[in-house]
A and B are shown apart, each in its own frame.
Chain A
Amino acid sequence: MSAKRIGSEAVEAKGWLAAHQWLLLRRLSQLGILGLFLLGPLFGVWLVKGNLNYSYTLDMLPLSDPYVVLQALFAGHLPETLGLLGAAIVLVFYFLIGGRVYCSWVCPVNMVTDAAGWLRDRLGIKGSAHLARATRYWLLGMTLLGSAVSGVVLWELINPVSMLHRGLIFGLGAAWTVVLAVFLFDLFVMSRGWCGHLCPVGAFYSLLGRWSLLRVSASGRAACHDCMDCFEICPEPQVIRPALKGEGKGVGPVILAANCTNCGRCIDVCSKDVFTYALRFKKAELPLPRGGGAAG
């Protein structure tokens, strides 16, 4: 591992661009969405108003964050029609294309934690505090219960995701300290700590995308030569194994684990083109039972 960089084989085999295409598209998506929000405040072009919690596009399309709306519901408040409609649209969208597509293609904090992960790898920082990846679900439950008890949309008091996004659009203030804290936490304390272990927003979207149609599939797993690059690059490496190595048990090849963010980095870094985007119903090559029950 010492000399070889993750994905160097893929760069050799496919060229730099092809070995980074999904990463580039993802950054384009993240920055593009942010750019749409910034067109108004910076240039007076109001295509989109609001922020990721709720936005109103072209004075006709409402989009709300269903997690925030859910907290408001738990706090005992029923939003206005537009707020509910926006939540419904977003729910259906992520239900179909994968909840954590929000994390990897939209959320601005993803760029922060990806940067921390990249730097962690570059600096060769190995140690990482251990915490179960299920912690985020406990935090998700806590924020919903807490919203009900306190009557306040609880996670929004400290949510780094909305603080960063809102901050970039409405004025950052001291929100940069929170973002920096997340960055340093991921860099020095816990590998993939925030997005992979703690963030209840991601946990919510994981559950939302539990049955999503769009998935990553290890369709070409027969070609896998165990270079481990996909495991190294993946922000949720535990999701790969059942799909990639489950052939003997008749599991896979579709990655069905809800925590998969559909980021496509495994597709990028694989020199053998094992991975591809696919629909969840894609059958295993072996005529054995499908892997639905073994996911997660």
Chain B
Amino acid sequence: MKPLDSSPTKSGAARRQFLFDSARMACGAGLLGLGLGLYAKQSKALPALALRPPGALPEEDFLGACIRCGLCVRDCPYNTLELAKPETPVATGTPYFTARHIPCEMCEDIPCVKACPTKALDHQLTDINRARMGVAVLIDHETCLNFLGLRCDVCYRVCPVIDKAITLEMVPNQRTGRHAMFLPTVHSEACTGCGKCEKSCVLEEAAIRVLPPKLAKGALGDHYRIGWEEQRKAGRSLVDESRIVDLPDRLPEGASLPGHYDPASGHTAPARGMPGSEAGLIPSLPPGLGGKP
């Protein structure tokens, strides 16, 4: 600042005025900045059902990288992506999709990633099977038709990574006692989070949903060692099996575990008739079936 006048009092007053004005501006801008900063913090909390395009950086990095141009939206051949509007609970102008609405079709050439001018969608993602937009979770065991004993299987059938990301695990149907249930089971190491399973779930509200990995996944502590894996790696058991003490099992009164060896009685409970298991008898009258009232 050039002094307005050579007299010391006047330049002093001008300096004071300048300092006051600066303080006023700094405080005003700071106040707005604080509000914006808190809003920015909020906007980092992506709603669970909003999924980012393939290759998107982690959310906290994504919002510093995406310049909201919408080129990914334009180059998506399936109109999967949209830019968040101000009223959407996703940071304004950033791309997202809702699996139940239009899922990701997992294009092999990944045009959305190629279109990104900022690397907010990581250009190192060249194999769409390595995309991790989220993880599918069969979230409601009470309504899933396969859990009810039916053979819906739709989520399994539509999965682009079928038999790797979703498998059907056969377990005995305890309710009928004579049927099998084929439970859709997601394997997170292969699931890309494309959302086709959620989209095609036949229920009114999907029983299988794609969630952000942070919500979907647990994490073992670093100190955990999984015994059978360590055994496979080492080629032998890491503990001296002759010294293992098998303690009596405590079960609810009257209950038995099919096929289980109980060290207390020295008996093995008969297993039900599942393939591969030690054959047991199928009850002649399963509960709820066959018997007259």
Q: Which residues of A contact B (CB under 8 A)?
A: 40, 46, 49-51, 53-56, 62, 64-65, 68-69, 72, 75-80, 82-83, 86, 132, 134-135, 138-139, 141-143, 145-147, 149-158, 162-163, 166-167, 169-175, 177-178
Asked if B21 lies at the interface with its beta carbon under 8 angstroms from chain A, I say yes
* Interface contact B85-A80, CB-CB below 8 Å: no
Residues of A within 8 A of B71 (CB): 49-50, 54, 56
Contact of B64 among A53, A142, A147, A177 (CB under 8 A): A147
Q: Which residues of B contact A147 (CB under 8 A)?
A: 64
Q: Tell me which residues across on chain B come within 8 A of A174, comparing CB atoms.
A: 85-87
Verify A50–B74 contact, CB threshold 8 A.
yes
Separation of A292 and B240 alpha carbons in the complex (Å):
89
**10 cross-chain CB contacts under 8 A:** A50-B74, A56-B71, A68-B68, A77-B65, A79-B118, A152-B43, A173-B85, A174-B85, A174-B86, A175-B86
Q: Residues of B with Cβ closer than 8 Å to A?
A: 21, 25-26, 28-30, 32-33, 36-37, 39-41, 43-44, 60-61, 63-71, 73-75, 82-83, 85-88, 91-93, 115-120, 123
Cα distance A153–B120 in the bound complex, in angstroms: 12
Counting from the closest, the 4 A-B pairs by CB-CB distance are A173-B85, A75-B64, A54-B69, A83-B117
Across the interface, B119 reaches (CB within 8 A) one of A49, A80, A170, A173, namely A80
Q: In the complex the two chains form, what is the Cα distance from A171 to B70 in whole Å?
A: 11
**Given that A51-B69, A56-B71, A157-B43 are contacting pairs, would A152 and B63 also be in contact in the complex, using a CB cutoff of 8 Å?**
yes
- Beyond A77-B119, A79-B117, A173-B88, whether A153 also contacts B64 by CB under 8 A is yes
11 more contacts with CB within 8 A, not counting A150-B41, A152-B63, A156-B92, are: A49-B75, A50-B71, A50-B74, A54-B117, A56-B71, A62-B117, A79-B67, A142-B30, A152-B44, A157-B91, A162-B93
Q: Are A132 and B67 in contact, with the CB atoms below 8 A?
A: no
Q: How many A-B contacts if CB must be within 8 Å?
A: 160
User: Which residues of chain B are near A82, meaning CB under 8 Å?
Assistant: 117
A49 to B40, CA, bound (A): 27
Given contacts A77-B119, A80-B119, A172-B85, contact A51 B70 (CB under 8 A): yes
What residue of chain B has the Cβ atom nearest to residue A140's Cβ?
B29
What's the least CB distance linking A64 to chain B, in Å?
7
Docked-complex contact A146 and B36, CB < 8 angstroms? yes
Which residues on B sit within 8 Å (CB–CB) of A172? 85
Contact A173 B64 (CB under 8 A): no
Inter-subunit contact B117/A64 (CB<8 Å)? yes
Contact A138 B25 (CB under 8 A): yes
Known: A54-B117, A157-B92. A83 touches B67 (CB 8 A): yes
Report the minimum CB–CB distance from A123 to chain B (whole Å): 29
Which of A72, A77, A86 has the most CB atoms of chain B within a 10 A radius of its CB?
A: A77
Assess the B65–A75 pair: CB atoms within 8 A. Answer: yes
Question: In the bound complex, do residue A146 and residue B117 qualify as a contact, i.e. CB atoms below 8 Å apart?
Answer: no
Do A80 and B86 have beta carbons less than 8 Å apart?
Answer: no
Residues in A whose Cβ lies below 8 Å from that of B40: 146, 150, 152, 154, 157
Instruction: Please state if A170 and B70 are interface contacts (CB–CB under 8 Å).
Output: yes
Closest to A149 in B: B37
Which residue of the partner chain, among A49, A83, A173, contacts B118 with CB atoms under 8 Å? A83
Give the Cβ gap from B22 to chain A, nearest Cβ, in Å. Answer: 9
Contact between B85 and A171 (Cβ–Cβ < 8 Å)? yes
Q: In the docked arrangement, what's the CA distance between A139 and B63, Å?
A: 20
Residues in B whose Cβ lies below 8 Å from that of A138: 25-26, 28-29
Say whether B70 contacts A169, CB under 8 Å.
yes
The interface residues of chain B lying within 8 Å CB-to-CB of A175 are: 85-86
A49 near B28 with CB under 8 A, answer: no
Q: In the assembled complex, how far is the CB of residue A161 from the closest CB belonging to chain B, in whole angstroms?
A: 11
Q: In whole angstroms, how far apart are the Cα atoms of A224 and B39 in the complex? A: 51
B86 near A163 with CB under 8 A, answer yes
Contacts of B87 in A (CB 8 A): 173-174
Q: Which one of B33, B36, B43, B68 has the greatest number of beta carbons of chain A within 10 Å?
A: B68
